[in-house]
Amino acid sequence: MWYSTRADLLRYRTFLRGEKLFMKIIMLGAPGAGKGTQAKKIAAKYSIPHVSTGDIFRANIKNGTELGNKAKTYMDQGLLVPDELTCDLVVDRISEDDCKDGFILDGFPRTIPQAECLTEALNKLGSKIDYAIDVDVPDDNIVKRMGGRRACVKCGATYHVEFAAPKTEGVCDTCGDKLVLRDDDKPETVQKRLNVYHEQTQPLIDYYTTQGVLKTVDGTRDLNEVFQEIVDILGE
């Protein structure tokens, strides 16, 4: 028998065993930990949508939906979108047909109220989160990773002094202009973002540990090794 994707074969095998394939996943991890990269790789392997809150906001605002217009009123004032509205937008997205076999949430939830809202909404749909994968990287590693980034002020090309260095130090390979360390990547700025992340996310780690779905992977290794550990958790 021929299958169009590996995920189709996986679904067929679980059907034969009388089981249901669960792939409702939350990605956790500090800024710069690489969770977005891993989320995209998981989405490609298992043929499930990579659902980013940023993409949800942009799509709803662009399409002029009721929820999108509500979110825009807050964003235009420079205010944070309330947890309940953010949750409504996410639930609306994961209720779409392409998410029926699963999804990967990237960037949501960020707080306990958001997590509780998501749990309640999924319960009403007769569903639940199956895995919360925490890509764990020590702060020092993240500061080093992000502090090594360089960007071209002219064409926007990006480099890393250790992992993707330009041919000539401080000079863009593409246009020859100078490379700079962006304010967002400066150690003091990165550390502030990490402090906020830990304050918000440690309770989330405890929350999903209590629910029995938290899985932690070592994000300090090569990205393909990290991905293989995630595959080992989710199953081939």
pLDDT higher than 90, residue 165: yes
40 annotated active-site: no
Q: What is the pLDDT of residues 2-32, one digit of tens each?
A: 444 444 554 455 444 444 456 899 999 998 8
Q: What is the pLDDT of residues 136-152, one digit of tens each?
A: 999 999 999 999 999 99
Domain that holds residue 51: 6-137+201-229
- Out of 24, 35, 93, 150, the active site residue is 35
Is position 34 within any domain?
Answer: yes
Query: 106: helix, coil or strand?
Result: strand
145 annotated active-site: no
Is position 44 within any domain?
Answer: yes
How far is it, in rounded angstroms, from Cα 109 to Cα 129? 12
pTM > 0.85: yes or no: no
58 annotated active-site: no
Is position 166 within any domain?
Answer: no
Is position 1 within any domain?
Answer: no
6 annotated active-site: no
110 annotated active-site: yes
Q: What is the pLDDT of residues 79-134, one digit of tens each?
A: 878 888 999 999 999 999 999 889 999 989 989 999 999 999 999 888 899 999 99
- Out of 186, 193, 215, 221, the active site residue is 193
Is position 89 within any domain?
Answer: yes
Write the single-letter amino acid at 33.
A
Which CATH number do you get for residue 114?
A: 3.40.50.300
Domain count, the chain: 1
Is position 222 within any domain?
Answer: yes
- Out of 45, 72, 110, 221, the active site residue is 110
- Out of 100, 128, 154, 182, the active site residue is 182
Query: 214: helix, coil or strand?
Result: strand
How far is it, in rounded angstroms, from Cα 183 to Cα 149? 11
Report the sign of the C-alpha dihedral through residues 97, 98, 102, 107, in that order. negative
List the 103-106 sheet strands across, edge first. Answer: 50-52, 103-106, 24-29, 131-136, 214-218
Q: 19: left (phi > 0), else alpha (psi -120 to 50), else beta?
A: beta
Contact 51, 99 (CB under 8 A): yes
